[in-house]
Amino acid sequence: MRAMLRRRLQEKNAENWTNTELDELLNEGLIRMQTQVMAVEPNSFLVLQQGPLTANQQLYPVPTGMWYETEVSLADSAYATGYRPLELGDYDRIRLRLDASETKYARFGNYFFLGPNHTTTTANGLRVAFVPTLTMATDASVPPLHIGLHI
C-alpha cells in the first residue's frame, strides 16, 4: 500500500515523505474508507471476542482497538446463540443494584461495568461484539476491504 501511495505521489525514494508519514496517511485513509463502508453496512467489520466471566469482578477491559460495541452478552444456554445480550444502562444506577436479578452493563471509561456482581467464574462467559478501528500495523498488513477499494 505504501509503494502504491509513493507511486501516486510520483516519489521513487523517501525524499519528501518518510515511511512513517505515509503510514499515518494510509491509516487515516483506511479509517475514512471504513466509515464509508459502514455507512452502507454498519456490521461489515464486526468482531466477536469471548473471555472469562470472573466471580466478584465487575470491571472488564474493552477489547484492544475497539471503536464501539454492538452487543455485550453473557453465556446462557437458554438462548439459541448460547449468549444472552445485556441491556446497556447508566453506570450510577447499575452499581447501586446490589441484589438485582438481571445483569446489565455500562461503559466506564476503558471498561465495561457489569452489575450486579457475579458469584461464579465461567470460561468464555462474556462475549463482546464490536467494531474495531481498522489499522495497518505492519508492512505486510492488508486492509480487510475489497481489493477494488484499496486504491
pLDDT at 106 (0 to 100): 96
pLDDT at 1 (0 to 100): 80
| Secondary structure percentages of the chain, helix, strand, coil, to 5 | 25, 30, 45
Angle at 53 between CA 48 and CA 58, to 5 degrees: 110
pLDDT band for 98, please (50, 70, 90 cuts): low
Work out whether strand 104-108 and strand 87-88 pair parallel, antiparallel, or are unpaired: parallel
pLDDT at 99 (0 to 100): 62
The arithmetic mean of pLDDT across residues 117-146, rounded, is 88
Backbone angles phi, psi at 112, to 5 degrees: -100, 135
pTM, two decimal places: 0.82
